[in-house]
A and B are shown apart, each in its own frame.
Chain A
């Protein structure tokens, strides 16, 4: 009995080992390309969230009374950080990874070297996380300049963004391992990302929703991110935050083997 269990555990554990120096080389490769092309990414990752903040804060905010004792712009600003970081990771590890994997055959090129496919996937996730943290941090700096970040606890925001980036890079990479065509990502964004964008407490406090929907929101990673970011931004720090961070950490660790497993199944016959 034990003999049958041990190899299974071993195989499971082997999905965590690819976060290593070989994966870092894949990450560095993407970073190198990013240094040449970052200007084209800028609009999507940074300008768009600021447009949301301007339209909803200055526009819609005029119609909304204070939310939980703060201005509407102040209420949504941390959520905009969370969602822009989510979009950055989700887009990077879906469309961009798919192009590298399927059209440019970069994964094939890399696995012919000492790097293996699981390390390629790990490197891609690291890069998605990087893009996400970068995007979220830039937005944080911008909203701080606008006076929307009153607490020094906000210095911990990048750490939360790492969890955010990892969670959404993985969710996107799971789809990249499955979808037959690049068009199929529309489902990922419509069924996973957009609902999260709308129902994670970014634009309105969740307690206005029926209890059942509030409980469902607990299942969404973005909900926990939004709670963490809003609390840190405002300095409303309590022990509860550790629980939200742990939720994310467990989520990340549990789904971690999936993108690697699916990509192996997809490419290696």
Chain B
């Protein structure tokens, strides 16, 4: 598999503040590569260096084999960007937004018209083609921004938190489109702080916090390696926690404490743990669920991913933000 992006000891400083602290990663062609982490982890900085917006402070970053310092124009011709904030032309219609963007790449008008038609159809925006962008919904604006990033048929699409701030339906619709694009062979880079997004879409991911990579791998492998298969959540008085941990010591692969909940990580079979819990005299309630990336993150950092914008979203019911 050819390598599309390669970072070696990649660093970024803003006025002395270290945003990215010397990280290494490789992104293969056709992959959906995820950068998962809370706000301020350095995700946006990393992708902004890939699309040649922020200069690299140290180390080496190559995209399509070109050093980002040497020829940004060559690189930018081949990649599409979906920024965190919508930056559409609000005075223009949906279709005009695509046509104007095509003109930046020097695409001929008739080719651009055809491509715009296809993209609007793909993203379910054909009926809105002549609407002013100001008047379409947030989810549609997001889809239009993704369509815009694809207008020049790039080899790589970079999405910076593509579904932040969207309702669950719009989010799922975008996931569906991204899966389609991936199936068609497009390489995707995705930053997110939604673990569900990362586990749905990404073949490979890095978990970042405070400018460093905490771990990397396929979502399933990461969960298995860091946590196991299941997690038991136990509500328990803080005073009794140590006693519980001690009694479970041989049965669990690890644990994590949050405010009022203790998470027990179970390597494979949960029955022994359940039996032990049932037989114990701790006053508690508990539930078992499959392990997920949130647990990985909680274990790696001791704190959760940020969910402040995500109240009520299904997977946040057990997430504790510390």
Contacts and interface: CB of A to CB of B under 8 A. Distances in A.
Interface of A: 25, 28-29, 32-33, 36-37, 104-106, 108-116, 268-269
A114 B154 CA distance: 12
B315 to A, nearest CB: 30
B76 A268 contact: no
B100 interface: yes
Given A114-B77, A114-B105, A37 B91 contact: yes
A109 B89 CA distance: 9
A113 B91 contact: no
A25 B103 contact: yes
A105 B87 contact: yes
Contacts of B53: 108, 111-112, 268
A269 B80 CA distance: 21
Contacts, number: 63
A106 B89 contact: yes
Given A108-B83, A109-B83, A111-B53, A116 B72 contact: yes
A104 B54 contact: no
B73 A29 contact: no
Contact of A104 (B14, B55, B80, B90): B90
Top-3 shortest CB links A-B? A105-B87, A112-B81, A113-B104
19 contacts: A25-B103, A29-B103, A29-B104, A33-B91, A36-B91, A37-B91, A104-B90, A105-B85, A105-B87, A109-B87, A109-B89, A112-B53, A112-B76, A114-B73, A114-B77, A114-B104, A114-B105, A115-B104, A268-B54
Interface size class of chain B, counting residues whose CB lies under 8 Å from the partner chain: 20 to 34
B86 to A, nearest CB: 8
Q: Is the interface of A mostly helix, strand, loop or mixed?
A: helix
Contact of B76 (A29, A113, A269): A113
Contacts of A33: 89, 91-92
Contacts of A108: 53, 83, 85, 87
B54 A113 contact: no
Interface string B83-102: 10101111110001000110
Interface string B132-159: 0000000000000000010010000000
B189 to A, nearest CB: 13
B83 A269 contact: no
B51 interface: yes
Nearest to A105: B87
Given A33-B89, A112-B53, A113-B105, 7 more contacts: A36-B91, A105-B87, A106-B89, A109-B87, A112-B81, A114-B76, A269-B15
